[in-house]
């Protein structure tokens, strides 16, 4: 069974799922297009799901849509709602903007072969759940109201706060940019469950008109759609504190017990060595990848080439290399499909699946596939079955070239690989000889800035 790193336990733990597993992933804030760094978290969730389903585990997944309540950064934590601010900047209604970017996110998820979750609640349509949860926390003494209509969570009523991130409650200090502690709070680390406001994206409550805090949204939606026993909670490493700490405190306080068994976080993605940001001009969308002539699943493969909890520095060269690999494997699978059928290679399949189970060691699984590709002792029919068997987890659409005219003749795949290695070694005479051999087989090779292509 799958073993994965639990952030709270600070060790790799076995996921004892039984026959069913409940999994929650913090979804996108839909005020702009998701960039490829954002998408890495959702590939992680999809990978976990596919690995578990290969083990006959039924996964019930919930992934929210944040279309209200996520505030832009500010020294006092009182910035504008991101959706509302962007809608005003574009001259659109907040919900029009949110639905546009939600549809864009769903399209990107489909292009990356992410299986849709069973539940995808929108925050704006779940406010009643949040109000009920806040009222319960007030009744239990875990939250308090103030005269202006704000409601705060009283963090000192939850002594185990900080177990996910390691931030001890008695060591927490106000952020360095805040000159004075908010006088409305009983303790500086308390956070808002409800904020008073008028205008768009606001609702009436017993405490006055306003909108929910970002953290309470995930608690309310996860408890409603998955119940008070959740096996896995996933998200990017940047959500570990304060979002997941606050969410855990709210959910556990309301339920009276530990709600989430395992917290799992994916690491940051850099592009060309820098964090993606408008200011540095290196924000890359999935549509940008497609515009460069690359398959969107090259992004998925590039993610799988690195362990999910390792920081990944993505580059255009990395993506082009991944694109070449995806296309080559599809061509090889199509070539092998013309061979005599044979059972899959159990040795290679078992080793790759063991790598998946070992804290999602996808780089090791991909190395095993490359080894199988080169292993001349394995029949082509067995390679065909093994690649497609493992593609149920990899989800690279390796069968898409089967039956198409562009199928390499027998032996051409090996020659193309050898020529690619010769070019990398700058062995030009060998490269030319291999080009001639390929021409004799009816394969015309061209060299481009991105590598060799053939037809």
Q: From first to last of the 455 residues of the chain, give the pLDDT tens digit.
A: 899 999 999 999 999 878 899 999 999 999 999 999 999 999 999 999 999 999 999 999 999 999 987 765 443 345 678 888 888 888 898 889 999 999 999 999 999 999 999 999 999 999 999 999 999 999 999 999 999 999 999 999 999 999 999 988 877 766 544 456 788 999 999 999 999 999 888 999 999 999 999 899 999 999 999 999 999 999 999 999 999 999 999 999 999 999 999 999 999 999 999 988 777 778 999 999 999 999 999 999 999 999 999 999 999 999 999 999 999 999 999 999 988 989 999 999 999 999 999 999 999 999 999 999 999 999 999 999 999 999 999 999 999 998 775 667 888 888 988 998 998 899 999 999 999 999 888 888 888 766 787 88
Please tell me whether residues 433 and 360 are part of one structural domain: no
Please tell me whether residues 175 and 211 are part of one structural domain: yes
Q: What's the CATH number where 147 sits?
A: 3.40.50.620
Please tell me whether residues 362 and 421 are part of one structural domain: no
Please tell me whether residues 163 and 203 are part of one structural domain: yes
Please tell me whether residues 300 and 379 are part of one structural domain: yes
Whether the CA torsion 411, 414, 419, 420 is positive or negative: it is: positive
- Domain finish residue from 233, 266, 299: 266
Q: For the beta carbon of residue 444, count every other beta carbon within 10 angstroms.
A: 10
Please tell me whether residues 239 and 370 are part of one structural domain: no
Please tell me whether residues 249 and 303 are part of one structural domain: no
- What's the rounded Cα separation, in Å, for the pair 354 and 356? 5
Torsions phi, psi for 427 (to 5 deg): -90, 80
Please tell me whether residues 402 and 422 are part of one structural domain: no
Q: In whole angstroms, what separates CA 424 from the centre of its chain?
A: 33
Which helix (H) or strand (E) segment holds residue 313: the answer is strand 312-314
Please tell me whether residues 235 and 321 are part of one structural domain: no
Please tell me whether residues 249 and 322 are part of one structural domain: no
- Domain finish residue from 234, 266, 298: 266
CA angle 170, 171, 176 (to 5 degrees): 130
**Pairing state between β 143-145 and 58-63:** unpaired
Please tell me whether residues 103 and 251 are part of one structural domain: yes
Range of the domain at 305: 271-407
- Domain finish residue from 266, 301, 327: 266
Which residues carry a binding-site annotation for Zn(2+)? 26, 218, 243, 247
Which residues carry a binding-site annotation for ATP? 278
Please tell me whether residues 371 and 441 are part of one structural domain: no
The tally of domains found in the chain comes to: 3
- What's the rounded Cα separation, in Å, for the pair 349 and 352? 5
Two structure tokens written together for 357: 């189970």
Which residues carry a binding-site annotation? 26, 218, 243, 247, 278
């Amino acid at each position: 069974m799958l073993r994965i790193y639990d952030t709270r336990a600070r060790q790799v733990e076995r996921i004892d799922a039984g026959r069913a597993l409940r999994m929650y992933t913090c979804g996108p804030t839909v005020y702009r297009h998701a960039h490829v760094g954002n998408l890495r978290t959702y590939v992680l969730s999809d990978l976990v799901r596919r690995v578990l389903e290969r083990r006959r585990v039924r996964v019930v997944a919930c992934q929210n849509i944040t279309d209200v309540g996520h505030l832009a950064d500010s020294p006092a934590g009182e910035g504008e709602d991101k959706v509302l601010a962007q809608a005003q900047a574009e001259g659109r209604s907040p919900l029009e903007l949110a639905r546009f970017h939600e549809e864009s996110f769903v399209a990107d998820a489909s292009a990356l072969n992410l299986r849709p979750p069973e539940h995808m609640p929108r925050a704006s349509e779940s406010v009643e759940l949040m109000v009920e949860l806040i009222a319960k926390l007030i009744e239990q003494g875990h939250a308090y109201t103030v005269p202006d209509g704000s409601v705060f969570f009283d963090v000192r009523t939850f002594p185990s706060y900080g177990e996910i991130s390691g931030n001890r409650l008695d060591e927490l200090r106000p952020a360095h940019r805040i000159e004075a502690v908010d006088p409305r709070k009983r303790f500086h680390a308390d956070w808002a469950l409800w904020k008073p406001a008028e205008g768009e994206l606001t609702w009436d409550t017993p405490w006055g008109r306003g909108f929910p805090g970002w953290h309470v949204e995930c608690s309310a939606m996860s408890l409603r759609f998955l119940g008070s026993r959740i096996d896995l909670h996933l998200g990017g490493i940047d959500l570990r504190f304060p979002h997941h700490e606050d969410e855990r405190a709210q959910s556990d306080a309301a339920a009276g017990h530990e709600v989430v068994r395992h917290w799992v976080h994916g690491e940051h993605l850099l592009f060309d060595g820098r964090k993606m940001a408008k200011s540095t001009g290196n924000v890359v969308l999935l549509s940008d990848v497609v515009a460069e002539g690359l398959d969107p699943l090259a992004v998925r493969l590039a993610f799988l080439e690195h362990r999910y909890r390792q920081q990944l520095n993505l580059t255009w060269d990395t993506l082009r290399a991944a694109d070449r690999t995806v296309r080559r494997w599809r061509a090889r699978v199509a070539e092998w499909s013309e061979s005599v059928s044979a059972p899959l290679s159990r040795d290679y399949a078992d080793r790759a699946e063991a790598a998946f189970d070992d804290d999602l060691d996808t780089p090791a699984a991909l190395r095993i596939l490359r080894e199988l590709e080169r292993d001349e002792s394995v029949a082509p029919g067995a390679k065909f079955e093994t690649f497609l068997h493992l593609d149920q987890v990899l989800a690279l659409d390796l069968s898409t070239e089967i039956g198409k005219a562009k199928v390499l003749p027998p032996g051409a795949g090996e020659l193309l690989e050898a020529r690619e290695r010769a070019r990398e070694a700058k062995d030009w005479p060998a490269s030319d000889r291999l080009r001639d051999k390929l021409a004799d087989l009816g394969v015309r090779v061209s060299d481009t800035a991105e590598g060799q292509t053939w037809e």
